[in-house]
Structure 1
Amino acid sequence: MSYHREPTVFGVPNFNAAEDAAALRGAMKGFGTDEQAIIEILTTRSNAQRQAIAQAFTHEYGRDIIEDLKSELGGHFEDVIVALMLPPEEYLCKELHNCMDGMGTDEHTLVEILCTRTKKEIAAIVATYEQMYNRPLAEHMCSETSGDFRRLLTLIVTSSPQGARDEEAGVNPARAQEAAQQLYDAGEAKWGTDEEIFNKILAHESFGQLRLIFEAYKNIAGRTIEQAIKAEIGGELKEALSAIVECVENAAAWFAQRIRAAMEGAGTEDKTLIRIIVSRAEIDLGSIKQEYERIYDKTLESDLKQNETSGDYKRALVALLGPA
């Protein structure tokens, strides 16, 4: 089964970049800022439309729209709006860079960005990262992570010039059977687990092929690959492999759980909340909303509104969720 991806942001018909640029300039000029106008325009335009607005803005006013927005806005509201204005790959590369920069590395963010994306999406991220930071993503990652976890992430971003996953190639049931047997032999069938095999298969195969492999695995092992990973693999590698498995089966549910985790506990993980809502809005945020409601029996919108998010920040996130 291939899972249905429903976005919440589609862009607007009859789009006029110069008009939007003028409206945004008006919202930022003079006394006070018209935040509502900024929200209404930027949360309903597609990313491609926002890039056109940014160009029109520079063309008309000789100014950088992101710099102007930053000087007018603040806090998490500013973070959402700036995230919306960056091309998607640039935004994700910035997030990857930030999560590895300075003291300590945020492994959860590495997993969230790299283990959940298709081959094509990874290829765009890898190319953009090197342009932006003048060093390969794989090299930066290698200096910040270790062990089997490092090997898995490295395989995901370097296995071929286009990244590892081959999404376009058709699925192959016979090969799936073979791979499932290899996984079984590497895990349940022996003492100790051969993580290399898990890494290789889960990093390389397309989501469609992995679906077949996981079905075959269940027939051979009598339990799901997820149960096997949880029982036999620990630490960061477990989190990363589980993310791949869950995203193969239902990415929207995985992201819904991640949003929930970001809102639970003491203080909101705002970076995570913003990143998922902004980066999935044009991909599958509609599906994520449905899964959220199915799993938690509450709408994502009501939880966002009750949450610590407030004011314009909250309004911008709720606007990206689209109509209830």
Structure 2
Amino acid sequence: MYPGHVKIKHKKHGKRSSSSSSSSSSSSSDDEFKHLPKHERKMRKKMKKQAKKKGKMYPGMGYPGSGGYPSQPMYPQGVVPPPSSGYPGSVPTGYPPQSGTGYPPQPGYPPQGTYPPQPQYPHSGGYPPQQPGYPASQPGYPPSQPAYPTSQPGYPPQSQPGYPPQSGYPQGYPGQYYNPGDQMQRPPYQAQPGYPAQSPNMPPAYSAQPAYPYPNAAPTGYPPQSGYPYPSDYAPQTTATGETYPTSTPTSVPTPAPAQAPPTVLSDSLKHMTIYGGAELFHPTVKPVDPFSAESDAAALRKAMKGFGTDEATIVSILSRRSNKQRQEIALMFKTMYGKDIIDDLKSELSGHLEEVIMALFKPTAYYDAWSINNAISGLGTKESILVEILCTRTNSEIHEIVSNYKQHYGKDLEKDIMSDTSGHFKRLLVSCLQGNRNELTTEQVERVIKEGPGSVVNLDQARDDAQRLYQAGAKKIGTDESTILSVLAIRNYYQMKATFDEYARISGKDIIDSIKSETSGDLETGFKALITCSRNRPEFFANCLHKALSGLGTKDHTLIRVIVSRCEIDLQSIKAAYQHMYGKSLAHAVSSDTSGDYKKLLLGLLGE
């Protein structure tokens, strides 16, 4: 019954007509809302009654006839409305139509349109129909985005055959490693499946990279990464604007550079070889003691020198088993603890050759050599044998340290002092050695000798040429060209010199040492032979020096002390072996026979006995 409708009581036909109309209207209302839940039907009926009372009724229930939203036509059950003009696209395939005719429009809301298509998301078989009892989704809000499916169609199995076995990273981490300093070329950006096109303001993305831990590292040793398909397995990507990005191919993944060898870490043995200019591994008799306490040693030495008498056994035991560096630490700690110089205390308690050995042990190695040279050229006469023993046998770095220590402790230039105390070609030989400029082996050459043998660093053409020059300078001419001999012996590395001497023997038919003996004499002969012997076998040179010191009438204790002290941390064990081989008896036995007391004990301690 609409408001304002006049009921004529005296016309029964009108009453019956009204009643019939009301009954028909009620029946049609029930039919209209019968598909709705009970509470929804009640709500709709109530809304309809309210509209009748106001005297206004529009098709579609709730849209004004004019001045507002245009009326919306009703559609038969099961028919999907056409897409609204306000939204692009259409209902994407794969979404089944919703069951029922939908819910009638709500008052005050714009007509419901279609959902905009979802670009690039794979179809998952559609969404199930909405369960009854939930109110209609409000227009203007896009439908909830579906969660990413657990298994996207088209993705390859998780374990990729193309990835090498890997370890180190936990499984499931993306195989990306980006280092700004990485030299590997990155492939161009590839759109990824399931993601919308990137904004220009977004940072560039990269396709999946092999999980290399460091730039240029070899692709081995890491567990396979799960969940990341190989770039070639992606289908071509199409954005909402219709642009298609090509898929990555195996060629787009950069081929890693060949693995580079790690920086060489020198072992102690290799350092030892490099320092001494060759690939021979010499063995010392004195090594740093571990554990070591300078404080404990300083206290023990103080106790040994305190009171009546001196405990020489304790002094010998400590100092013969400490390296030169540790002895310097003991001297510093002694002065720190007691305010006294340990050298002065030891001098006051000791005497003779024992004192000389102890004083030598507390001098740094380079300073001890400089001190020995200063003694050799000071006073009346010059002890040329000491100059040859030191300057013709030391390495380049050792020569430089000797020159520096001489200047520091004596305030004079060693080269000038040598030139003022020597003459002739012998002077030239010593000045040449003082330059410390021999072509010693580099670290790489030492490694090559170890792996491939001495021939890997020898220039045979140069060896033949040098051998010919030596032959022309000596055996093949009247007189001797000492300068030519010096130019070969003072420059070449020891392996090159050995090859030259072999070629010389082939050309001349005699050993180079024999030629030097016949062509030179005196100190120059001694110097040349020292250079040749050291190039062949340096321990043999020092074994010969010790044999001369221990042979004949009396013992040349200064030479004995100097060689043992200066070589005990370098190659004294090798010298002992050479002595045994050359003279058929042990060096320790020879020393014991020519020395006595604490002096003998200390020397034997330094010999490792």
> TM-score, with normalisation over the residues of structure 1?
0.94
Residue 586 (structure 2) aligned to one of 296, 299, 312:
299
Structure 2: stretches of 5+ with no match in the other structure: 1-277, 446-456
- Could you tell me which residue of structure 1 aligns to residue 230 of structure 2? none
Q: How many Å separate the matches in 2 of 1:243 and 1:42?
A: 31
- Could you tell me which residue of structure 2 aligns to residue 207 of structure 1? 494
> 1:215 Cα shift?
2.4
> 1:207 Cα shift?
2.4
Q: How many Å separate the matches in 1 of 2:475 and 2:585?
A: 38
- Could you tell me which residue of structure 2 aligns to residue 321 of structure 1? 607
Q: How many Å separate the matches in 2 of 1:50 and 1:166?
A: 33
- Please identify runs of 4+ aligned residues in structure 1 that moved more than 6 A: none
> 1:172 Cα shift?
4.2
Q: How many Å separate the matches in 2 of 1:123 and 1:175?
A: 28
- Could you tell me which residue of structure 2 aligns to residue 56 of structure 1? 333
Spell out, residue by residue over 1:172-207, the C-alpha distance to the aligned partner (whole angstroms, 9 max, x if none).
413333222221221122111100111222122232
Moved more, 80-89 or 57-66: 57-66
2:444 is the counterpart of 1:168: no
Q: How many Å separate the matches in 1 of 2:364 and 2:292?
A: 18
The one-letter code of the counterpart of 2:587 is: L
Moved more, 130-139 or 92-101: 130-139
Q: How many Å separate the matches in 2 of 1:233 and 1:3?
A: 30
Spell out, residue by residue over 1:151-190, the C-alpha distance to the aligned partner (whole angstroms, 9 max, x if none).
10011103xxxx1223134544133332222212211221
- Could you tell me which residue of structure 1 aligns to residue 527 of structure 2? 240
Q: How many Å separate the matches in 1 of 2:330 and 2:359?
A: 13
- Could you tell me which residue of structure 1 aligns to residue 561 of structure 2? 274
The one-letter code of the counterpart of 2:438 is: R
Residue 476 (structure 2) aligned to one of 174, 189, 195:
189
| 1:110-259 to 2 correspondences below 5 Å | 110-158=387-435, 163-169=436-442, 170=445, 171-173=457-459, 174-259=461-546
Contact 2:370–2:406, Cα closer than 8 Å, also in 1: yes
Identify the structure with bigger relative contact order (alpha carbons < 8 Å, sequence gap 6+): 1
2:378 is the counterpart of 1:91: no
Structure 1: stretches of 5+ with no match in the other structure: none
More helix by share: 1
Q: How many residues align?
A: 318
The one-letter code of the counterpart of 2:585 is: K
Spell out, residue by residue over 1:266-312, the C-alpha distance to the aligned partner (whole angstroms, 9 max, x if none).
221110000000000001110111111111111111111111x2111
> 1:229 Cα shift?
0.6
- Kindly report the root-mean-square deviation, in angstroms, between the aligned alpha carbons of the 2 structures: 1.5
2:382 is the counterpart of 1:105: yes
Q: How many Å separate the matches in 2 of 1:140 and 1:124?
A: 16
Contact 1:164–1:205, Cα closer than 8 Å, also in 2: no
The one-letter code of the counterpart of 1:63 is: K
> Percent of aligned positions with the same letter in both sequences?
47
2:298 is the counterpart of 1:12: no
Q: Radius of gyration: which is bigger?
A: 2
Q: How many Å separate the matches in 1 of 2:493 and 2:404?
A: 20
Q: How many Å separate the matches in 2 of 1:3 and 1:223?
A: 26
Contact 1:292–1:299, Cα closer than 8 Å, also in 2: yes
- Could you tell me which residue of structure 2 aligns to residue 70 of structure 1? 347
- Could you tell me which residue of structure 1 aligns to residue 143 of structure 2? none
Contact 1:281–1:321, Cα closer than 8 Å, also in 2: yes
